[in-house]
Amino acid sequence: MTARRSIPASLFGAPVGILGLAGAWRIGAPLWNLSPVVANTIAIIGASTWAVLVVLYARKWLLDRAAARAEALDPVQSSFVALIWISTMLVSISAIQVSRPAGALLLGASIACQLAVGVWLIGRMWKGGYGPDFATPALYLPAVGQNFVAATASGVYGWPQLGTWLFGCGLISWFATESVVLLRAATREPLPAGLRPAMGVQLAPPVVGGVAYLSLTSGIPDMAAHMLFGYGLFQAAILLRLWPWIRLPSFSPGYWAFSFGATALPTMAMRMLVRGDSGPVAWAAPILFVAANLVIAWLAGCSLYRLARGTLLLPPTVVAVGSAPLPPG
């Protein structure tokens, strides 16, 4: 496999989005009397996509180790490796419908791996040498996204104490990372066009964290839940305002970065309704649910079209903001 045809780690955003949508449909089935068959079908598609990508990514390390290593050492692209474990944990949540022991085993292994990846990537950052230009929204994935999804999955499997620890890791990491990302955006040169789709990750922390929070608590959603949801709506509005600036002339796998937050936003609203909430969230939830379906349908349609034309896997954008990869470790 040549470098040109090696799959980028960012493509694991596809199963993240598809499985996230399956989770929304699973909540919507009893909430709005939707067919559970749709949720199961989407989950199967998401898990199958994940399995194919895992095989292709393993093949990348076997046959195109130079490209895989360059991606793993790149200060920006390495963060997308976290999507592998985020998608794996989402598969484990779906797997509980089939086999709880198998799902728990997969979840335990993926939590251990995501912690190892997070410690490695964030620990490398602590050693310095990145420079402010590398503070992109992709930084949310290793310490924030991974831990929030792990917390959600822990809540689903009935491991509340572990889930709370992981939620704390994600929450405090989010607060620290957001200030760095915003400072870079306000004071440095604009992101290169090829990296702007990564802005989609900006929506994820408040709503993925909100889903995790609801998974670990009970009763009618409190002020903290509504604060997270409100900030998620605010981030969604910012991304809509920036869309003309973010969009590229042609579709790229990086657009799947939007799927993480786009599916978590309605999922959080729907979970709030299930928990007995009312008010504006009751009419916001169906609108956001429809929007999430449209977003995933667009992403999937564009991906399949590019795949059919043989143009989906473009050369990876390595060191796109003007510096060399960091040394190992």
CATH of the domain at 255: 1.50.10.150
87-91, 154-158, 314-318: which range is least confident on average?
A: 314-318
Residue 327 placed within a domain: no
Residue 324 placed within a domain: no
Residue 329 placed within a domain: no
What would the mean pLDDT of 85-110 be, rounded to a whole number? 96
Question: For residue 194, what pLDDT is reported?
Answer: 85
Residue 42 placed within a domain: yes
Percent share of the chain, pLDDT over 70? 94
Whether residue 324 is predicted with pLDDT greater than 50 in this model: the reply is no
CB count, 10 Å around CB of 294? 11
Confidence of residue 169 (pLDDT cuts 50, 70, 90): very high
Residue 328 placed within a domain: no
3-class secondary structure, 232: helix
Report the C-alpha gap between 274 and 271 in whole angstroms. 5
Residue 251 placed within a domain: yes
Whether residue 326 is predicted with pLDDT greater than 80 in this model: the reply is no
23-37, 76-90, 104-118, 187-201: which range is least confident on average?
A: 187-201
Whether residue 157 is predicted with pLDDT greater than 50 in this model: the reply is yes
Question: For residue 5, what pLDDT is reported?
Answer: 64
Average pLDDT, the chain: 91
Residue 325 placed within a domain: no
Question: For residue 289, what pLDDT is reported?
Answer: 98
Confidence of residue 322 (pLDDT cuts 50, 70, 90): very low
Whether residue 320 is predicted with pLDDT greater than 70 in this model: the reply is no
The H or E element that residue 25 is part of is helix 13-32
What would the mean pLDDT of 10-35 be, rounded to a whole number? 96
Give the tokens for residue 228.
Answer: 């997270």
Question: For residue 191, what pLDDT is reported?
Answer: 87
DSSP 261: H
Percent share of the chain, pLDDT over 90? 78
3-class secondary structure, 199: helix
Range of the structural domain that residue 210 is part of: 3-308
User: Total structural domains in the chain?
Assistant: 1
Residue 203 placed within a domain: yes
Question: For residue 329, what pLDDT is reported?
Answer: 53
Question: For residue 142, what pLDDT is reported?
Answer: 94
Whether residue 296 is predicted with pLDDT greater than 50 in this model: the reply is yes
Question: For residue 318, what pLDDT is reported?
Answer: 38
